[in-house]
Copies of this chain bind each other. A is one copy, B any other.
């Protein structure tokens, strides 16, 4: 990869997409620091792809090096993110043309889109329409999702930290339940994110690895919820251990295919909006078994808990951002930097380039070999895969006030060049 010593012409645009994570800003730091090292100016789109459509761009060169470095330990999306899926080229060609117009107006030659499989699809389409409209743009999808459901990459930045949060929460709450079970709560239910894939729930399994260690049951969206089997195992566990910890994916369904927690609402992508399978299970336990219960639903707390991030995850999040810039500046297009595992113990990984077409609009479920035969636990193969992802701590600076020192960027706007556009 031979490059001229002059700064390459043009700017780089970075945008965050979809649900944010504890480490998505570490990716932003990787992007901006790598681009700065090459003398390339980085603009960020405000609120993801919508900012690109609205020409609401942020000039990250106005931020200090210290502020960018602090992104490595700041959760949330520093430039704003959005849930907005571009329609197909046929259905809304105007939006794609507008994007190219904005990129051209600001001399943007590289576009890094940081998100999940929907975002990979968008990045792929922009690279295609750029070519069709004769505008030379390199599009890179940069992986991010707590759901860990992207194809090709071994794991997804964002997942390792929510996995660590879930394992630690399972361990800590179980110590609480164990000490009170004689006279108080016997069944504790922790509801975790995971609409279609049970990766986060599976990570709870790392909390313990002996016969009676918590969690005693994990409920995966990959398996149909079997009420009788669930109740029988809860009962047997309480009778043997004295108490029982259950970890449930928000996305579990009954034999009729209905979500146990169906809330009725739908998000911008048309996905059912879930939340609340834990109280449904708790009521079942109370009614059928008579046990006192507690349940927890950490919701956004689990994906924003930078204070408990995994070092592996934070390092990988930074690395995919940095690699994305390197690929883009080297002229790669329609690719994604993915994580390749080269060894389990000790864990080793590297970053490689993969075509976006192999990632876009696909969903990686857990292999059947990761679930125990009864469907309520994880296998040794799952542990081998998951264990390295929560390893290492990624300590934070705390202020004298006892709170983490999270950075707030200036986010100064770039002057608009174009007429307004309403997406």
Contact = CB atoms under 8 A, between A and B. Distances in A.
Contacts of A190: 301
B81 A406 contact: no
A300 B20 contact: no
A167 B402 CA distance: 9
Contact of A50 (B183, B305, B400): B183
Nearest to A346: B400
B301 A179 contact: no
B75 A268 contact: no
A185 to B, nearest CB: 8
Interface in A75-90: 75-84
Contacts of A331: none
A398 interface: yes
Given A168-B307, A176-B303, A183 B403 contact: no
B184 A307 contact: no
* Residue among A78, A275, A390 having the largest count of chain B Cβ atoms under 10 Å: A275
Interface string A168-193: 11011101111110111100101000
7 contacts: A20-B179, A77-B176, A80-B179, A171-B403, A184-B268, A297-B299, A298-B298
Contact of A393 (B19, B304, B398): B398
A300 B268 contact: no
A206 B176 contact: no
Contacts of A80: 178-180, 182
A295 interface: yes
Nearest to A297: B297
Contacts of A299: 173, 294-297
A182 B75 contact: no
Interface of A: 16, 19-20, 22, 47, 50, 74-84, 164, 167-169, 171-173, 175-180, 182-185, 188, 190, 206-207, 265, 267-268, 275-276, 279, 286, 292, 294-301, 303-308, 310, 312, 387, 390-393, 398, 400-404, 406
Nearest to A179: B77
A308 B403 CA distance: 10
A267 B267 CA distance: 38
Contact of A176 (B76, B167, B207, B286): B76
B300 A294 contact: yes
Given A47-B183, A169-B301, A295-B299, A175 B279 contact: no
Contact of A390 (B207, B292, B402): B402
A365 B206 CA distance: 40
Contacts of A292: 265, 267
A20 B183 CA distance: 13
A82 B176 contact: no
A314 to B, nearest CB: 12
Given A295-B299, A296-B300, A176 B308 contact: no
A177 B171 CA distance: 27
A317 to B, nearest CB: 15
A310 B402 contact: yes
B294 A296 contact: no
Given A296-B297, A402-B392, A81 B171 contact: no
Given A47-B182, A183-B84, A402-B393, A304 B78 contact: no
